[in-house]
Structure 1
């Protein structure tokens, strides 16, 4: 037995690791992508350029974020001007910086929550972490200490910090950490059945539930718009049972659905709304939370007993990121890009419906605004189709459920959209025949 162990150890020691760059690839089985990675060196408008010089139409807007397109000089100039004045300064205690203050005021003007306070941080995962903590802090401050559980939907994606991992409805993002949930007080509810959600609240007990968190339209989970009455039922359950409603608008915020926020499109009144990606179109890492008066007012009372919410990080309210966001909001407004998404939605939807009608390997298409998903037969690999599309000069991305992501920049032309979906159609047929 000793000899076997020694031999196995020797073989393991002699086995060479997979060769490749020092950077650990995200969300990938490393051996499957090393040697196949596309190094992106440039971009302009709706296109990106690889190290080899291949020009690709960015049909996913990066990771749902490049809404105004790539390499806008106005945003580069905004960052440069700010860095030449002050790169950043923290926003702890008595300190703040002018750009963080200005951005917060501008965000309050477009907020999906009336009279909000705004917590700034570095991205969507940060925002979810803070929102879930704030929900629990709220109920502890209220003296209702049993209200700790955060409910989230099956197939949900809320980033990959500890809370985002814990409330994920994509099981593969939850596995491998030694416990069922990194933060134990979490549970999943139905994707689209409001009655199942009602039963789950009854079984768990409203007295134990701090919040329900949901994307208005699921993104990574397969592009799942809400079923009829689903979000309205969740909102009703929250109001009737003293449960906070948290909307994750990291993808849908700032125009992706043809309204500034999905909250407006679906007529919702959340307690907390998280945002990120679209606040800068990815030009700087920035995210945050809109906080309703119900939550923030007790933390602002002029009293020696006023509690502190212990949030904050070094780059929360980063001055340069804030300057970029301010310029970005100006571009969204001046170029009327949110209305453009609204106007393009019928054309976008018709094009996806046409793809489904003419291609028997497409099981279903789903869309809202400029957010779409194309689900394929199980026998036709979405990942392989995406590889074929790259060869044709177009970028899509495989999502849960063998689904292809379709979320072009807001500046996409109808011709570019037609070309993109024609390439997708062709790639699907080629993969099905292989």
Structure 2
């Protein structure tokens, strides 16, 4: 076999063997949407049609597609060394990458544990939280609290603290001792709000009731997404995150922010914690860390949590956890090249520059048929459509699919259309995306 084999980006002869993730497989394979290449703001499908990327791939290609710097870094590294273990061994890149990451992280989050995905980052954070309390002698702190409509990946830890019904109901072996805060979606009071909603900060006080019910001495951590992306861009009400921080700090409970979606510039700062002025104890990330080029995640941990493990004989493993590919050299090379792009091009804060234009464009769809809410912050937004009688989710899916054939890729969660274009977007790309979406919504019955 030739060593320079290139696999063609063309229609496969058969689509039977691949069981696709989070996909209605039978429906999809009747009219497949197959992407063949990507550059800048656009995909090209196998038929040569150009498709504007309105979702940064899957919330991950923040610097756009086809970045040669990342490809070259990956190519150089994989030729130099394809893999090296980080169990009782090491190589330079994850150490260098971790130092670079803490430079952009909220103050005090100076330790980084590498994973390979958002799901692994969440499970890692939950294990750190439980082990931290045990290391401090608070072994009764085993209860975890998530939130309704939260998405924290697909590991058993993540689906246990997550609050999206379809991700949970088929899997009975979830973690015991998990409770959920109420979600913050309030169409009655906050529909068509521009930016963060005014109403709902008091929902954080539900945590106080859970503390009264379970006892603070039994609660290890609270995990929330600052912005719930997969549930359809559900935003935190003004003051809500601050209130969660106050309550958790007062009761010795760890606060975990799942920033797999919001991390690396999506809301106009490197992390949502910085944009909204709330520093948690742990932050989970992935996706934008490598611009989607190579799977990788990173968990940011406070010095206090890390240091609680660093006791006892120094020849003992402090935390019995990790993955074969934690700190993978090729992924680390991709991440370092990605950080160079973010910082050189000012992408970690560019969403704030585009925010007003993006907001105005989105809200221009407010008078379109069946639009019942529009939500936005940074460079992320959602158009919430009314459900068809007896067929929830079908209108959203039809809009999503037709947008693709009209030349724009968006996401749908039920009847919510979510968008998160790459941070390199220009105003003309926003105009194109909103024009296509508006035209498709107008025709959807």
1:300·1:306 contact (CA, 8 Å) conserved in 2? no
Match of 1:42 among 28, 37, 41: 37
1:351 aligns with 2:361: yes
Give distance in 1, aligned partners of 2:168 and 2:126: 17
2:310·2:318 contact (CA, 8 Å) conserved in 1? no
Q: Find the counterpart in structure 2 of residue 265 from structure 1.
A: 275
1:185 aligns with 2:177: yes
1:258·1:341 contact (CA, 8 Å) conserved in 2? yes
2:133·2:141 contact (CA, 8 Å) conserved in 1? yes
Q: Find the counterpart in structure 2 of residue 108 from structure 1.
A: 102
* CA-CA distance at 1:309 after TM superposition: 0.7
* CA-CA distance at 1:145 after TM superposition: 1.7
Match of 2:121 among 108, 111, 127: 127
* CA-CA distance at 1:384 after TM superposition: 0.4
Match of 1:85 among 80, 84, 90: 80
Q: Find the counterpart in structure 2 of residue 278 from structure 1.
A: 288
Q: Find the counterpart in structure 1 of residue 18 from structure 2.
A: 23
| 1:165-185 superposed Cα distances (whole Å, 9 cap, x missing partner) | 111110110011235xx1112
Q: Which moved more, 1:130-139 or 1:373-382?
A: 373-382
1:382 aligns with 2:396: yes
Which blocks of at least 5 consecutive residues in structure 2 are unaligned? 1-13, 185-202, 389-393
Give distance in 1, aligned partners of 2:341 and 2:377: 23
Match of 2:436 among 398, 413, 423: 423
- TM superposition score normalised by structure 1: 0.91
Q: Find the counterpart in structure 1 of residue 299 from structure 2.
A: 289
Give distance in 1, aligned partners of 2:225 and 2:33: 30
1:247·1:274 contact (CA, 8 Å) conserved in 2? yes
Q: Find the counterpart in structure 2 of residue 8 from structure 1.
A: none
Moved over 6 A (4+): none
2:136·2:308 contact (CA, 8 Å) conserved in 1? no
1:129-144 equivalences under 5 Å are 129-144=123-138
Give distance in 2, aligned partners of 1:299 and 1:339: 34
Q: Find the counterpart in structure 2 of residue 51 from structure 1.
A: 46
**SS of equivalent residue, structure 2 residue 349:** helix
* CA-CA distance at 1:355 after TM superposition: 1.3
1:4-403 equivalences under 5 Å are 20-93=15-88, 95-114=89-108, 116-179=110-173, 182-192=174-184, 193-301=203-311, 303=313, 308-356=318-366, 358-379=367-388, 381-400=395-414, 402-403=415-416
Q: Find the counterpart in structure 2 of residue 13 from structure 1.
A: none
**SS of equivalent residue, structure 2 residue 37:** strand
Give distance in 1, aligned partners of 2:151 and 2:27: 23
| Number of equivalenced pairs | 409
1:88·1:97 contact (CA, 8 Å) conserved in 2? no
Give distance in 2, aligned partners of 1:239 and 1:396: 38
Give distance in 2, aligned partners of 1:307 and 1:216: 33
* CA-CA distance at 1:297 after TM superposition: 0.6
Structure with bigger gyration radius: 1
Which blocks of at least 5 consecutive residues in structure 1 are unaligned? 1-18
Give distance in 2, aligned partners of 1:195 and 1:114: 26
* CA-CA distance at 1:201 after TM superposition: 2.4
1:113·1:270 contact (CA, 8 Å) conserved in 2? no
Give distance in 2, aligned partners of 1:51 and 1:226: 39
